[in-house]
Structure 1
Amino acid sequence: MEDQPEHSVSNEKSTAVGERQLHRGDYGAETELQRHLSTRHVTMIALGSSIGMGLWLGSGKSLASGGPVGIFLGYILAGSMVWAVSHSIGELAVLYPLPSAFVQWTGKFVSPSAAFSLGWAYWFNYILTVANEIQVTSVVMGFWTDDLPNAAWITIFWAVVTLANVFGVKVFGEIEVVGASIKFGWIIVVIFSLIVTSAGGAPGHGPIGFRYWNSDPFTHGFKGFLSVMPTCIFAMAGSENCGLVAAETRNPRRSVPRAVGSIWLRLSLFYILGAMMVTINVDPHNKDLFGQSGTNASPFVIAYREARLPALAHMMNAVILISVVTTGTIYIYSGSRNILGLAHLGMAPKQFKHADDSGRPWPGLVLSIILGGGLAYLNVKNSSADVFSWLSNMTSLFTLFGWGMICLAHIRFRHAWHAQGRSDSDLPWKSWTYPYSAWWGLIWCMVLIVVEFYLAVWPLGLPPSAKNFFSNYVSVIAIVVLYLGARTYYRGPWWIKLTDIDLDANRRFYVDTEIEKVPEKGLRGKAEKVLGFLFN
């Protein structure tokens, strides 16, 4: 090497960046993040992190577009995908609890170019979701008062989600636990109370039953059903955050499988049964549904209002507000950790590598807060429903790409594990659903990306136009540009060879005696016991 010309050495370095990263295993396992989150935190974040306006408000827009049967089937399909993706996350997060988890798994098992495009696409996804959650607070507050302009509400709740993140990981974890507990408890109230109202047990109207299912199951036919999928995907995005927080948990082998095991509960209670309650209580042609010509209210609020149960309508709106704020909080958290992981991969400026003594990655946190809150002001000159549609369509495509890459990384990991002569019994935790769930999630992600292309070219209720196409499909264009740019930089093979993957680099090793300390006294200890009873 000493006899080679200087420019030859430089060229060799520039063309082998990806391979150097691969073989050195530079995936940021050791960062300045602190392991302050427990099983309780991870479980409740998995339960409640994606319960925001996608369910409480977006389900109204989906009901109007797809009808009662359309929205119900949409949530079942999206739920099956989340269930599949969560099992892939569980197996990988236990063995490789890395910051910016799925980005680094993709870089390790697929290719550096795919990791680069996924990492930045997902960071955009987090920022857009923060903006979407904050901007819709003006709609929620509009149920009570119109005295303040939209910009004022956006500013107030931008400050709230900022404070929830700047006080440190422990405070953030407790806020998410409280928020998820409220959402989890309230959805049980919603299910039982709306069954009663549908049966005619409220003063506002007589029995409804499945009247709307029978009269207009699909309001706009098959195309209407397809149109609900972006909102369903947007609503159910967030369960993958349990993979991100694994890097800041004391014992991922204990906490992550519990979080994965609770997914079925969230899917069945929050989404499938919640969506059914909407379909049996609210007319899909109700003009007050979010996105329609009326008051743009949540379908759950409409159900209580039409049943003449004003107290429950107010309580429902309060829970929606809590949901929106806590969801915005988790996405700022996720965005800051995602860019930290990218920096440790050499895919973001090195300044984003750092965190303070409390584990707060300030550079990524500040950037995520500023951009996420700033984009929320799109609401000031556009309707909330329009902004919701733009942002949810973009984020659903980013989410589909992310879910697909998680499943692909899982498949590639298992293939590498076997190719290097290792047994499944050596895994600290393995999913009983592999390989069927991973392939199910991957295939459906690819199918729905094609479906969204069809809807971008021929949108429901609108004529085809370049503006509609780019506003709805720009996410895929961004992903392709990011990937091709990374391919130009990293070069090398399209796929990392299975035999070249260092399966022990940045791996978390466990011993049989490694257990997480569980508080035995006080409210904290009682919470642990309740969660253990529910999810074990």
Structure 2
Amino acid sequence: MADIESATRHGDFAGDLKAEHERRNVGTLERKLKSRHVQFMALSGAIGTGLFVGSGQVLSLAGPLSAFLAYLITAFNVYCVVHSLGEMATYLPLPGAVPVYAARYVDEALGFAVAWNYWWQIAIGVPIEVTISVVIVDYWPNAVPTAALITLFLFAMVLVNCLPVRVYGEAEFAFGAVKLTTIVGLILLMLIVTLGGTPDGERIGFRYWGGSGPG
């Protein structure tokens, strides 16, 4: 009889812990980002060093069609993941990222593993972003030491992430607008050079595809 009562108390305690875990952080998410902040962060999130710098090597090694197919397949996977995350965040808005939902909807062990993967990704990604930024700046001759540029970019990145949410949103909105404007301008420049030719009159697009071009 005592064993049954002890098991019952243990089950009630476990149930209380589970209920407390289910209610944890519910209703504590503060929505301080405006709609335009979120939209620009979503639009410009895919535009980064991989597109500006890495795409050149991809095109030279794989060619246009292979690069397009690779981006298409990866984009489809990211689309599915982001939509799934959006569904979970809409159903139960909680403060936190993917590890929070992995721990809540699957298992805490999976949330633990995903959290460490995210930490590793960001720990590597930040130095990569800073290094690529310095590489882009060094394309133009300058007398600024590389260490100074790395320190400057890293300080600016950390500072923006330490600012209040509204200020961070405005900064992301401005940076996103710059990135979107840049990529649209590069696409237009590509079309102009491909179809209209260089200032010297060379038809790059027609030469690439093996044709002679009009005129």
Correspondence 1:152 to 2:148: yes
C-alpha distance in structure 2 between counterparts of 1:210 and 1:27, whole Å? 62
- Check the 8 A contact 1:103/1:119 in 2, yes or no: yes
Whole-angstrom distance in 1 between the partners of 2:207 and 2:77: 29
Q: Distance in 1 between matches of 2:180 and 2:105?
A: 36
Which of 183, 187, 194 is 2:183 aligned to?
187
Q: Structure 1's 35 and 72: CA in aligned 2 closer, same or farther, altered over 3 A?
A: same
Matches within 5 A, 1:79-118: 79-118=75-114
Shift of 1:187: 2.3
Q: Which has the higher helix share?
A: 2
Structure-1 separation of matches of 2:183 and 2:41:
16
Tell me the secondary structure at the aligned position of residue 33 of structure 2: coil
Q: CA deviation at 1:190?
A: 1.9
Give the AA of the match of 2:21.
Answer: R
In structure 2, distance between residues paired with 1:146 and 1:58: 23
1:26 Cα deviation (Å)?
A: 5.2
TM-score (norm 1): 0.35
List gaps (5 residues or longer) in structure 2.
none
Asked if residue 141 in structure 1 is aligned to residue 137 in structure 2, the reply is yes
Deviations 1:195-248 (A, max 9, x none): 110123331451122654679xxxxxxxxxxxxxxxxxxxxxxxxxxxxxxxxx
The aligned counterpart of 1:292 is none
Q: CA deviation at 1:41?
A: 1.0
Superposed, which structure 2 residues align to 1:117-516 within 5 Å? 117-204=113-200, 206-209=202-205, 211-212=207-208
Q: Is structure 2 residue 46 aligned with structure 1 residue 28?
A: no
What is the Cα deviation at residue 146 of structure 1? 4.1
Q: How many residues align?
A: 204
Report % sequence identity: 33
Higher relative contact order (CA 8 A, sep 6+): 1
Relative distance call for 1:137 and 1:189 in structure 2 (3 A) is closer
Whether contact under 8 Å (2:44, 2:179) holds in the other structure is yes
When residues 203 and 161 of structure 1 are mapped into structure 2, their CA distance, relative to the original with a 3 A threshold, is same
Alpha-carbon distance in 1 for matches of 2:20, 2:168: 36
Give ranges in structure 1 of 5+ residues lacking alignment: 216-536
- Matched letter for residue 126 of structure 1: I
Quick one: distance in 1 between partners of 2:128 and 2:200? 33
Q: Which aligned segments of 4 or more residues in structure 1 are displaced greater than 6 angstroms?
A: none
Distance 1:213 1:73, change over 3 A: farther
Match for residue 458 of structure 1? Answer: none
How far off its partner does 1:123 sit?
2.0
CA distance in 1, matches of 2:61, 2:19: 46
Letter aligned with residue 129 of structure 1 = G
1:27 Cα offset (Å): 4.3
Q: 1:81 to 1:54 in 2, by over 3 A?
A: same
1:69 counterpart = 2:65: yes
- For 2:25, the aligned partner's letter is G
Relative distance call for 1:101 and 1:68 in structure 2 (3 A) is same
Residue in 2 that maps onto 1:466: none
Output the TM-score relative to the length of structure 2.
Answer: 0.81
Separation (CA, whole Å) in 1 of partners of 2:71 and 2:120 = 24
